[in-house]
């Protein structure tokens, strides 16, 4: 439980910091399209940080299968890294100058991890020993 809460808190703090950077620090560095891309990364980062927070609370329930909750957390984390991380790098390409052509397929793969996390949450109550 503690590791889930620490992960939740750390990802939440990072999302707030990146959101503030995007809202205040990027305006003079990138164009409107890049700002929107960055904001999309922050938005999905926040959504799935909240999902990890939900999972941390759900781990207390004896009615849910913990393996599904662990997988959901892992999938949400990987989704944040791939989906939001690739959007952050794409939005900042004009600043860092690193070629980003390889990131094209990374973003949707991150989206697939998000979906897998939600599917795991959907499956968590299934075949629970408390229901049998």
pLDDT attached to residue 103? 87
pLDDT in tens, 63-94: 787 899 999 999 999 999 999 999 999 999 98
The reported pTM is: 0.90
pLDDT at position 8, please? 95
DSSP result, 34-99: HHHHHHHHHHHHHHHHHHHHHHHHHTT-TTS-HHHHHHHHHHHHHHIIIIIHHHHHHHTHHHH---
pLDDT, one tens digit per residue, over 95-116 is 988 888 888 899 999 999 999 9
Quick one: pLDDT at residue 13? 98
State the pLDDT confidence band at 132, using cuts at 50, 70 and 90. very low
């Amino acid at each position: 439980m503690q590791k889930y809460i620490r992960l939740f808190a750390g990802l939440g703090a990072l999302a707030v910091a990146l959101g503030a950077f995007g809202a205040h620090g990027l305006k003079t560095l990138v164009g409107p399209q890049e700002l929107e891309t960055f904001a999309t990364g922050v938005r999905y980062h926040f959504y799935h940080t909240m999902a990890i927070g939900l999972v941390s609370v759900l781990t207390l329930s004896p009615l849910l299968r913990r393996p599904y909750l662990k997988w959901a957390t892992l999938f949400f984390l990987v989704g944040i890294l791939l989906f939001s991380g690739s959007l952050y790098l794409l939005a900042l390409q004009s600043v860092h100058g690193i070629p980003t052509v390889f990131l094209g397929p990374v973003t949707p793969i991150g989206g697939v991890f998000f979906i897998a996390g939600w599917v795991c949450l959907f499956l968590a109550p299934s075949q629970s020993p408390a229901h049998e």
